[in-house]
Structure 1
Amino acid sequence: MWSQEARGGGFVPGIVFNPSAKGVAYARTDIGGAYRLNSDDTWTPLQDSVGNSNWHDWGVDALATDPIDTNRLYLAVGMYTNEWDPNVGSIMRSTDKGNTWSETKLPFKVGGNMPGRGMGERLAVDPNMNSILYFGARSGHGLWKSTDYGATWSNVTSFSWTGTYFQDASSTYTSDPVGIAWVTFDSTSGSKGSPTPRIFVGVADTGKSVFVSEDAGSTWSWVTGEPQYGFLPHKGVLSPAEKSLYISYSNGAGPYDGTNGTVHKYNITSKVWTDISPTPMASTYYGYGGLSVDLQVPGTLMVAALNCWWPDELIFRSVDSGATWSPIWAWNGYPNLNYYYSYDISNAPWLQDDTSTAQFPVRVGWMVEALAIDPFDSNHWLYGTGATIYGGHDLKQWDTVHNVTLKSLAVGIEEMAVLGLISPPGGPPLLSAVGDVGGFYHSDLGKAPAQSFHNPTYGTTNGIDYAGNKPSNLVRSGASDTLPTVAMSTDFGKTWSANYAASSTTPTGQVALSADADTVLLMNSNGAMVSKYSSTFSAVSSLPSGAAIASDKSDNTVFYGGSAGSFYVSTNSATSFTKTTTLGSSTAVNAIRAHPSIAGDVWATTDTGLWHSTDYGKTFTKIGGGCTAGWSFGLGKASSTGSYAVIYGFFTVDGTTALFKTEDMGTNWQMISDSGHGFGAASANVVNGDMSIYGRVFVGTNGRDDLDEHKDVWYHNFFDNADHDHEDIHYNHQYVQDYDVANLYRH
């Protein structure tokens, strides 16, 4: 049996409550799959079975929960619509709230991690005839309809507006049309058992962008009078009792942009549009994203700025249909702020930087596209940020004492980009290099870290390493606008200091630290660079740019590199490298690991498998056992004294790509991922072993992120009990943002 014991989070672009079943709610993430809310405010992941072959299913671009058969749940999945993802998208269907799934492939791609992923929801169930669903596609593919509970789909040819807006023509990631933003049924317009006549559709267009059908989708027309300010409709939310449609607009697709926008109310009966924006267009520097109405109290609604980057995110609340608004904070004569909330991050204390000297610490968040009021409990609300889910159970106090509790409520959601993992001997069990929130010193794997790495603080830590002979000495590299991009620690990463051998303009990248901690090798966008005794980093021209790098953990002068199937060695503290050999027919070197205590013992994974050298990389032996490809891997403590270390990693063995271990240097392999834990894309993950505890391996996944992505850290203990008759498996999921932290799964 599995249980969760830690804390989680990441960017959550969508939160949806079922309007008919109390307590049923779901969250979708851009690269970490979907989650179901539990009664204790924790979340259950619904897509952990996703593996290497269907990694793109962790990108959830839309979610719909059935208001009639409330066990039914639908997801529109797919990661990218450009060339980064060769796969078409799918509609995932569940009849048991996401415990099991059926899949329908679509004839086009879906972009769960593309611009505009916070718009929505693009997928909707007809509230009067739930066999009917609509889905708004990206990339000019238009509006699609299913009449058989999502099993088959056809294009709605009568709907001709495909959404032509794109963010930026300079790259294939930002130049693809965002497409249709949301589909909203007017449940008041029909009767149970018949298709709902009135359907609204919002498209990502700077001109006419909101359309309506009055005949169940047979014909469509623009909603006359829609304001034409060049803004995009992010959310279209129905208030049935008011017979009104509320729409949040922004001049960007999100989730990062947005400098102007409006909130409008459309009265369906009178066909009158009213600007109800909390801040006039002439005075604002943000658009609007997240939007929700209180179904228990008609006229009560909330909207979030998209994006108010300074001094903090703004959320507004109205109890009179948008005639007046109250904010979550307000200026009281610069530089004074009135805060109308208390702050509880006990579930994820690292969310607040205790070392920060910022005048206005960011607490409310950013990138708020997901905002939802519980339809059965006006006190309960949730919203997603770039780092976590916040919310609480005292929302009505906003209207009385004007003070609510903002609490991190993302336990169980794990989504961060883990870019590096180390477990230095004698130190904490784990240190993680993470996207967006820097990284963590994990002293207790069952708890969320108290703080992320600081002094210097990096938004993203790209690489981390320890010195083999002096393992309390560490190096990390990350991006900074003002501080050196390399930092050092002498206490296992508890505290850090900037390494002024680098500057703020030195590109960040992978790092390797010599065995005695006196030399740093940095591989960044400019190529290889080296610093010895804190001298200024200088170029190393003899190692190809982009090569995988590592240091020998016992011999202080030796460093290793691998590129395009060739292996390189330096014996002069990375001053220069020599190509020593070619690894068979390999065309790529994916990772290099040196044995923690044996000089000259080094391993490498390539596109042809796993390779081993015992002579400082002069010659290599290809490991057999059916291994034909390898990516990230690590070495862990052996099962008995005198035995060789256990190798854990993502490999293709006998045609299956998964997480494997070998306890006999590759003669025999055991797959340790399973049907419930697929870990997503093998090539995107990070793995390392623990040399202190037999059977413990750490895995950072790419999705439970990316260009700006989210990965997670899981740790697994595989160890036999005293009589060796069964195996206990321990999983700790520690996600770090988009990037939050951590869940411990135990069996």
Structure 2
Amino acid sequence: MNKNQIIVLSGLLAGLAGLVAGCGGGDGAGSAAGIGATKMGAPAPVKATRWASVKFGGGGYVPGLIYHPTSPDVLYARTDIGGAYRWDAATNAWVAITDGFGPTEGFHHGSETMALDPNDDKRVYMSTGMYLSENPNARLYISTDRGDNWQYVNLPFSAGSNNQGRAVGERLMVDPNKPSILFYATRANGLWKSADYGQTWNQVSSLSSHNMSKAEIEGVFWSGVVGVEQVIFDTSTKGTGNATQTIYTAVAPDYANVAGLTHNMYKTTDGGATWTGIAVPEDVKGFIVPHMVRNKDGMMYVAFTKDTGPGAGGPSRLYKFDGANWTLLRKFDTQQWVNFGMGGLSVSGTGASTRIALGVSNSWGNYDGMPAVQLSDDAGATWREIAAMAPHLPDSGFYGWIDDVEIDPKNPDHILHVHGGGVWETKNASAAKPTWTNASEGIEEVATKALTAPPPGANYTLLRAALDVGTAVQTELFKSPTRGSWGMFNSTYGVDMAWSNPAYIATTGSPGWNTPNVAGAYSTDSGVTWKGFATNHPDALGNTSDASNLAVTKTGHVVWAPSHAAPAYTTDNGATWTYTNLPALNHMGIDRAYKVVADRKNPNKVYAYNSGGSWWTQWGETAHFYTSTDGGRTFTESVSFPSKSWTVDFFASSIAVNPNAEGDIWVADGLNILHSVDSGATWTKLNVTTPIWGNGQWTPDVYGATSITLGKAPADAKYSSSIYLAGVIGNVWGVHRSDDGGVTWTRFNDDKHQFGGMGTLAADQTVPGRLYLSGGGRGVLFSY
């Protein structure tokens, strides 16, 4: 499975109600100096906290780059799950512009399309909504200051920023002559128009009034509902005050078939009042139009590809269209071992000297001249390859998903393209062999599943398990990791180290294509080299999903809890595995597992927490807590665990141990904070967190306590560790910190830094006040 398939499965529930709340930190906005921590009511912010990304570098898919047509260096990047970014030419890096999105906006942390006002380079539009449905759940976010601040309106249709076909674009366009007018080419509801800067919307029924039903959407959901595919205003003027009359749009076969539309492309000459079908060449009928652009001289350039994408396969064609005639410029036919599609498309110049940059998708390999970015300087008469060339093969990890290519409007020698892991650029495209560099600085789009901070003395700072990229060992926070389980897994879900020997690290994940039988691995040299366990947990290969996790008690001793399975332990580094006495978990249509954690003071003690399932399973199963005193072989249930009346999603709960005291355990069960100082024999409920409930809902809009971790305490602390909680205290959601064992709490972030959702926390054991957190598709952030 790729990232997109996995996130569809694991993220749908989280997106529906913000189940996995996000968190972050701030620059002090709204803090009040001199206000101390509070036990009741809203927690006071701590001294201004600064936040930065733990650098991975890109890591995720950027479906679209959007240049302002006239203002230099005004450039945006939209991502499928990790928010949006604005280019900062002064620092030569991207700046996140959606970090203010809060715990209920996780579903909106992916952008299906963005649009810029050609007359006002500060006005930005961004549509959001990760997964397409028959429900009108998309939003339009509007900024008048280049994304520093946003307001939104609810849209009367759905969007799919993380569905297949998400590189088609841009779907949203602003009329350059009358910028109060916007058109939106939707996936399942035809074409829509706003005449008031996006505040209200009406369906353009003159093209089609069909709204796809649930059955129609589900019929092509996995291949991707593409629908109407862009809007192009056929004009070279702007700011006239008169609405542009001639407009083009394209329609994918999935929508055309159910809406009774008979053409791939349509044109209006009366501002959308009526539409006329355009006959396309026979060899591209029924194809997807991933990109079409209008040149300044009025010529239209249109890419056609058979498959949906991302990384769409062919056959594929590039045509130019003068309004009456089609001219073939480039084609790829499907042959043995060759199935090249077309993705990105950008043009510069006019007439016979038009420069065309064409992204070739589904081109996998590593050879000189492999199609990746094709360039023509004579309007398509001749072509050359400018990206996949011998000098760049060591860095050619960008091939395959070249689904957007952009020529800088102010410098045609500067060309950027996207791929599955960020952005690349060349600034000498006219050279015989252009030089390409990674242009992803500032973009952090890794979907993180687990974070673990090592004990003092380790030669690394942080362990991070993530979808698509595996487990990374971070030795420096501001440099991309060089150690990791690279190539062993498609994704990893859990990671831990031996507290007495942090050089020993174990991780679990889904097997890679070249390691089909490896679901767990270990390193004995702090992540420099890795080996797959000699054998897997007996149920691991059949239960490789996000909830899988493990605990390391000491070198070679691991307790492994795959999804739904009974945990098993090894004392011989994976040569053999033996089931614990814990029962397997029932399948409930959701991903779940025991959360297993090793006591850091006593390696014979291991704790296991079953959160119960989810809110709708309360009548079928309750939460349970177990303790082992023999290294994870046998477990005894805590009869006094106070959470038996409450069940919660696996991903909205957590367990943490105090590394400075044996048997000191903290649980965030979605509703409350629970604390035990005797290895789970007795428990105290803190009663400081309160979920935020919506009207008439069975589940909270925001859970009260979802992730908890303990880290190095300041010298004057009343408790041996600082406690960090993602949750709601005093009706204020955020990361909250306590230095006195949970008696008083201070908010650790502000509303400008919420990161669109958060899945897990980890705290540094050496630096007081340093917290690591995973944002909603935003990689890993840390406080400093």
Q: What is the TM-score normalised by the length of structure 2?
A: 0.80
For 2:620, the equivalent position in structure 1 comes to none
Q: Name the CA distance, whole Å, in 2 between partners of 1:435 and 1:276.
A: 39
Q: Name the CA distance, whole Å, in 2 between partners of 1:323 and 1:634.
A: 61
Q: Name the CA distance, whole Å, in 1 between partners of 2:239 and 2:86.
A: 29
**Displacement, 1:386?**
0.9
State which drifts further: 59-68 or 294-303.
294-303
Q: Name the CA distance, whole Å, in 2 between partners of 1:166 and 1:230.
A: 23
State which drifts further: 103-112 or 619-628.
619-628
**Displacement, 1:602?**
1.5
Aligned pair in 2 of structure 1 residues 169, 182: CA closer, same or farther (>3 Å)? closer
- 1:116-135 aligned at under 5 Å gives the runs 116-135=165-184
Give the SS at the match of 1:292.
strand
Matched-pair contact (CA < 8 Å) for 1:165–1:205:
no
State which drifts further: 303-312 or 609-618.
303-312
Q: Name the CA distance, whole Å, in 1 between partners of 2:264 and 2:636.
A: 60
For 1:721, the equivalent position in structure 2 comes to none
- 1:268-417 aligned at under 5 Å gives the runs 268=323, 271-281=324-334, 284-295=338-349, 298-311=353-366, 314-328=372-386, 339=389, 342=392, 362-397=396-431, 401=432, 403-417=433-447
Matched-pair contact (CA < 8 Å) for 2:165–2:224:
no
Matched-pair contact (CA < 8 Å) for 2:665–2:677:
yes
Matched-pair contact (CA < 8 Å) for 1:467–1:515:
yes
For 2:7, the equivalent position in structure 1 comes to none
For 1:80, the equivalent position in structure 2 comes to 131
For 1:152, the equivalent position in structure 2 comes to 200
Q: Name the CA distance, whole Å, in 2 between partners of 1:532 and 1:439.
A: 22
For 2:624, the equivalent position in structure 1 comes to 566
Give the SS at the match of 2:417.
strand
Tell me, which stretches of 5 or more residues in structure 1 are unaligned? 331-338, 344-351, 353-360, 705-711, 717-729, 731-747
Aligned pair in 2 of structure 1 residues 168, 151: CA closer, same or farther (>3 Å)? closer
Q: Name the CA distance, whole Å, in 1 between partners of 2:51 and 2:575.
A: 49
- 1:215-226 aligned at under 5 Å gives the runs 215-226=270-281
Q: Look up the equivalent residue of 2:277 and give its one-letter code.
A: W
Give the SS at the match of 2:330.
coil
Indicate which of 738, 755, 763 corresponds to 1:679: 755
Q: Which runs of 4+ in 1 moved over 6 A?
A: 1-5, 161-172
For 2:551, the equivalent position in structure 1 comes to 513
- 1:102-251 aligned at under 5 Å gives the runs 102-138=151-187, 140-160=188-208, 174=222, 177-188=225-236, 192-205=240-253, 208-227=263-282, 228-241=284-297, 243-251=298-306
**Displacement, 1:28?**
0.7
Indicate which of 702, 708, 714 corresponds to 2:781: 714
Q: Name the CA distance, whole Å, in 2 between partners of 1:405 and 1:168.
A: 46
Q: Look up the equivalent residue of 2:707 and give its one-letter code.
A: S
Residue 50 of structure 2 is aligned to residue 50 of structure 1: no
Indicate which of 701, 707, 725 corresponds to 1:632: 707
**Displacement, 1:393?**
0.9
**Displacement, 1:50?**
0.6
Aligned pair in 2 of structure 1 residues 526, 371: CA closer, same or farther (>3 Å)? same
- Number of residues of Structure 1 aligned to a counterpart in Structure 2: 673
Note the aligned Cα RMSD (angstroms).
2.9
Residue 562 of structure 2 is aligned to residue 524 of structure 1: yes
Aligned pair in 2 of structure 1 residues 161, 235: CA closer, same or farther (>3 Å)? farther
* Structure 1 residues 242-294: Cα deviation after superposition (integer angstroms, max 9, x where no partner): x22112222222114424322222222xx112222243455740211111112
* Structure 1 residues 336-377: Cα deviation after superposition (integer angstroms, max 9, x where no partner): xxx26547xxxxxxxx7xxxxxxxx84333322121001110
Aligned pair in 2 of structure 1 residues 286, 161: CA closer, same or farther (>3 Å)? farther
Q: Name the CA distance, whole Å, in 2 between partners of 1:168 and 1:317.
A: 39
Residue 175 of structure 2 is aligned to residue 100 of structure 1: no
- 1:418-497 aligned at under 5 Å gives the runs 418-425=448-455, 426-427=457-458, 428-454=460-486, 457-480=488-511, 481=513, 482=515, 484-497=518-531
Q: Look up the equivalent residue of 2:569 and give its one-letter code.
A: V
Aligned pair in 2 of structure 1 residues 278, 302: CA closer, same or farther (>3 Å)? farther
Aligned pair in 2 of structure 1 residues 316, 24: CA closer, same or farther (>3 Å)? same
Aligned-pair identity in percent equals 29
**Displacement, 1:463?**
0.9
- 1:587-598 aligned at under 5 Å gives the runs 587-588=647-648, 590-598=653-661
**Displacement, 1:451?**
4.7
For 1:610, the equivalent position in structure 2 comes to 673
Matched-pair contact (CA < 8 Å) for 1:165–1:177:
no
Give the SS at the match of 2:647.
coil
Aligned pair in 2 of structure 1 residues 211, 435: CA closer, same or farther (>3 Å)? same
Give the SS at the match of 2:742.
coil
Aligned pair in 2 of structure 1 residues 519, 429: CA closer, same or farther (>3 Å)? same
Give the SS at the match of 1:449.
coil
Q: Name the CA distance, whole Å, in 2 between partners of 1:167 and 1:386.
A: 30
Q: Name the CA distance, whole Å, in 2 between partners of 1:667 and 1:245.
A: 66
Matched-pair contact (CA < 8 Å) for 1:515–1:554:
no
**Displacement, 1:554?**
2.6
Aligned pair in 2 of structure 1 residues 655, 372: CA closer, same or farther (>3 Å)? same
Q: Name the CA distance, whole Å, in 2 between partners of 1:465 and 1:479.
A: 16
State which drifts further: 285-294 or 642-651.
642-651
Matched-pair contact (CA < 8 Å) for 1:487–1:498:
yes
Give the SS at the match of 1:436.
coil
Q: Name the CA distance, whole Å, in 2 between partners of 1:518 and 1:189.
A: 69
Indicate which of 89, 93, 96 corresponds to 1:39: 89
Tell me, which stretches of 5 or more residues in structure 2 are unaligned? 1-26, 28-49, 257-262, 586-592, 613-622, 692-703
Q: Name the CA distance, whole Å, in 2 between partners of 1:313 and 1:559.
A: 53
Matched-pair contact (CA < 8 Å) for 1:514–1:552:
no
Aligned pair in 2 of structure 1 residues 493, 523: CA closer, same or farther (>3 Å)? same
Residue 761 of structure 2 is aligned to residue 701 of structure 1: no
Q: What is the TM-score normalised by the length of structure 1?
A: 0.84
Q: Look up the equivalent residue of 1:408 and give its one-letter code.
A: N
Indicate which of 124, 128, 140 corresponds to 1:91: 140
Q: Name the CA distance, whole Å, in 1 between partners of 2:756 and 2:95.
A: 17
Q: Name the CA distance, whole Å, in 1 between partners of 2:474 and 2:494.
A: 16
Q: Look up the equivalent residue of 1:559 and give its one-letter code.
A: V
Q: Name the CA distance, whole Å, in 1 between partners of 2:732 and 2:646.
A: 19
For 2:310, the equivalent position in structure 1 comes to 255
Aligned pair in 2 of structure 1 residues 296, 229: CA closer, same or farther (>3 Å)? closer
Q: Name the CA distance, whole Å, in 2 between partners of 1:535 and 1:66.
A: 62
Matched-pair contact (CA < 8 Å) for 1:624–1:666:
no
Aligned pair in 2 of structure 1 residues 324, 166: CA closer, same or farther (>3 Å)? farther
